[in-house]
Structure 1
Amino acid sequence: MDAGGAKGKQKSDINVTPLIDIVLVLLIVFIVMVPGLSKAMKVVVPQVVQTSAPQKPDPNNILIQIEQDGTITLQQDKVDAQGLKDKLPDAVLLQPLGYRKVFLKVDEDVQFQSMVDVLDAVRVASETAKKKSLEQVDKFQGQDGGDVKVAVSLRKRAGAVAPVS
């Protein structure tokens, strides 16, 4: 058996054939695995649309404002507590079923009780609107869409300083 060297001595050069085989196998493994490692998702970035005129508020949105002096405004009409209870159910009925929302803007100095009274009026209006819609249209019976959702926002006075605790 020949060991590759001269006169029975061993050859001192390294045999690179097995090394090339291993490197080629690893190269093929990495080529196959790399496309599976990318976890990128396609993203649709919203485009900025510049308009010259400000957008008009949605007429279906109901806005109730409570000013610092306790004045209640429904949309743009100043009303008292009883007027709010009378007008709000009709305004709620104009909203589509399942999408009934009321936005409530409250000044930070308003008494807590006046805000509770307005929220109670919204609850009563929700129940009244639900009853009226069930009486008026039979095909929506049992599918009214639920209660009115209320979003409350607190308006802070300009220059107001937060209390230090």
Structure 2
Amino acid sequence: MDAGGPKGKAKSDINVTPLIDIVLVLLIVFIVMVPGLSKALPVVVPQVVKVDRPTPPDPKNPPLVVTIDQNGDLMLQNDKIQLAELADKLSPVVQLQPSGMRKVFLRVDEEQAYQYAVNVLDQIKVASDRAKRETALRPEFVGTGLDGGDVKVVAAVKKRTPTS
């Protein structure tokens, strides 16, 4: 049996042939893998547009504001109304707003019951549905499939300032 060294002694040199085989296999694997790793999707970062001041409200089309004050009184713009007549008075005014841009701002006093605010929202929804239906029946909209769109409601809670 040959141990590789003189007079039967062990050979102290490292056999580099298997080491070179392993290194070459790893090199080939990395050469094949690297192009696949570098593929990336293009990313478009949105640009920030700075506006100095917000656009002023349109004087021809002022925002519709429904207010529930601290006494529980319901007001459309500056007119005091009852809950039952909100849908009837709101629907024609909503129809005057541009299609797709119908908005109603709801201001609720923080002391008012949640259920009362929900009832007002229900009446706004009834007015929205009525305005859509009546807009779709106008001669210029018949057959187009357009109905003016839903009314979007922006709600805010009015907090009272503590008095000393």
Normalising to structure 1: TM-score of the pair? Answer: 0.64
Amino acid at match of 1:144: D
Query: Is 1:138 paired with 2:142?
Result: yes
Query: Is 1:89 paired with 2:91?
Result: yes
Task: Verify the 8 A CA contact 1:81 1:118 in the aligned structure 2.
Answer: no
Task: Verify the 8 A CA contact 2:65 2:104 in the aligned structure 1.
Answer: yes
**Equivalent-residue separation in structure 2 for 1:79 and 1:8 (angstroms):** 114
* Stretches of structure 1 lacking an aligned partner (at least 5 in a row): 161-165
Q: Which residue of 2 aligns with 1:49?
A: 50
Query: Is 1:150 paired with 2:153?
Result: yes
1:139 is displaced (CA, Å) by: 1.8
**Equivalent-residue separation in structure 1 for 2:161 and 2:27 (angstroms):** 67
CA RMSD of aligned residues (A): 3.9
Query: Is 1:125 paired with 2:127?
Result: yes
Deviations 1:98-123 (A, max 9, x none): x6443322111134565345324313
Cα–Cα, structure 1 residues 50 and 147, in superposed 2: closer, same or farther, change >3 Å? closer
**Equivalent-residue separation in structure 2 for 1:158 and 1:36 (angstroms):** 62
Task: Verify the 8 A CA contact 1:3 1:11 in the aligned structure 2.
Answer: yes
Cα–Cα, structure 1 residues 45 and 127, in superposed 2: closer, same or farther, change >3 Å? closer
Amino acid at match of 2:27: L
**Equivalent-residue separation in structure 2 for 1:57 and 1:65 (angstroms):** 19
Task: Verify the 8 A CA contact 1:103 1:152 in the aligned structure 2.
Answer: yes
1:49 is displaced (CA, Å) by: 1.2
1:130 is displaced (CA, Å) by: 2.2
Normalising to structure 2: TM-score of the pair? Answer: 0.64
Amino acid at match of 1:158: T
Q: Which residue of 2 aligns with 1:163?
A: none
**Equivalent-residue separation in structure 2 for 1:145 and 1:45 (angstroms):** 31
* Stretches of structure 2 lacking an aligned partner (at least 5 in a row): none
1:63 is displaced (CA, Å) by: 3.7
1:43 is displaced (CA, Å) by: 5.3
- Greater CA deviation, 9-18 or 82-91? 82-91
Paired residues, number: 155
Amino acid at match of 1:15: N
